[in-house]
Amino acid sequence: MIDITPKNKFREVVEFTWEILKIVIISLAIIIPIRYFLIQPFFVNGASMEPNFHDGDYLIVDEISYRFDAPERGDVVIFRYPLDPSQFFIKRVIGLPGESIKVEDGKIFINGKDLDESEYLQDINTAGSVEVKLAEDEYFVLGDNRQASSDSRKWGEVDKKFIIGRAWLRAWPFSRAGVLNN
């Protein structure tokens, strides 16, 4: 015989609610550390990284790698915009700490040597005239679409403390989804 008294019904509701609450707590205990310390979603906004990244691309950012290793030349990084840290930018690392960077006549020179970017860009013409010596915690970053990019040529170097992580995975659009080769 089944007892359906109000006392037993209340008990079932409390037990069901407790089970749901435990699932939510366990899920949050797993998701929150991953989201805030390991990986983070990022939407590309604008054309500054074309042809490699397009407006609306949905990326997953690896936030943990740079805690153990420094960014390397050619890495695509997400960072807080130095002039307004509430904004996030995506650019490619061109110059590393301690290097001398010179942009002149459409070319980039690192410590006096012409930079070869054919691995990730074709028909490159880097406008502007800039010469800078990077400090031990600074990076020189440029957009892949050099004609439509606000980058280190315009607002200067990026301090390592502003770098959030590297572009690791493209999740959208599905036709271009996959692990990114930095």
Question: What are the chain's domains?
Answer: 39-179 (2.10.109.10)
Render 17-79 in DSSP notation, one character per residue: HHHHHHHHHHHHHHHHHIIIIIEEEEE--SSTTTTTS-TT-EEEEE-SGGGTS---TT-EEEE
Cβ–Cβ < 8 Å for 146, 126: yes
Task: Summarize pLDDT for 82-141 with one digit per residue, the tens.
Answer: 888 888 999 999 999 999 999 888 888 999 898 888 777 877 788 778 889 999 999 999
Quote the pLDDT of residue 96: 94
Quote the pLDDT of residue 78: 92
Is residue 24 pLDDT above 90, yes or no? no
Neighbour tally for 148: CB within 10 Å: 12
Of residues 9, 48, 65, 100, which has the active-site annotation?
A: 48
Catalytic site includes residue 100: no
pTM: 0.73
Q: What type of residue sits at position 86?
A: S
Catalytic site includes residue 91: yes
Task: Summarize pLDDT for 27-81 with one digit per residue, the tens.
Answer: 777 777 666 666 677 777 887 887 888 888 988 888 888 888 899 998 999 999 9
Please state, in angstroms and rounded to a whole number, the distance separating the CA atoms of residues 16 and 12.
6
Of residues 7, 27, 65, 91, which has the active-site annotation?
A: 91
Quote the pLDDT of residue 167: 86
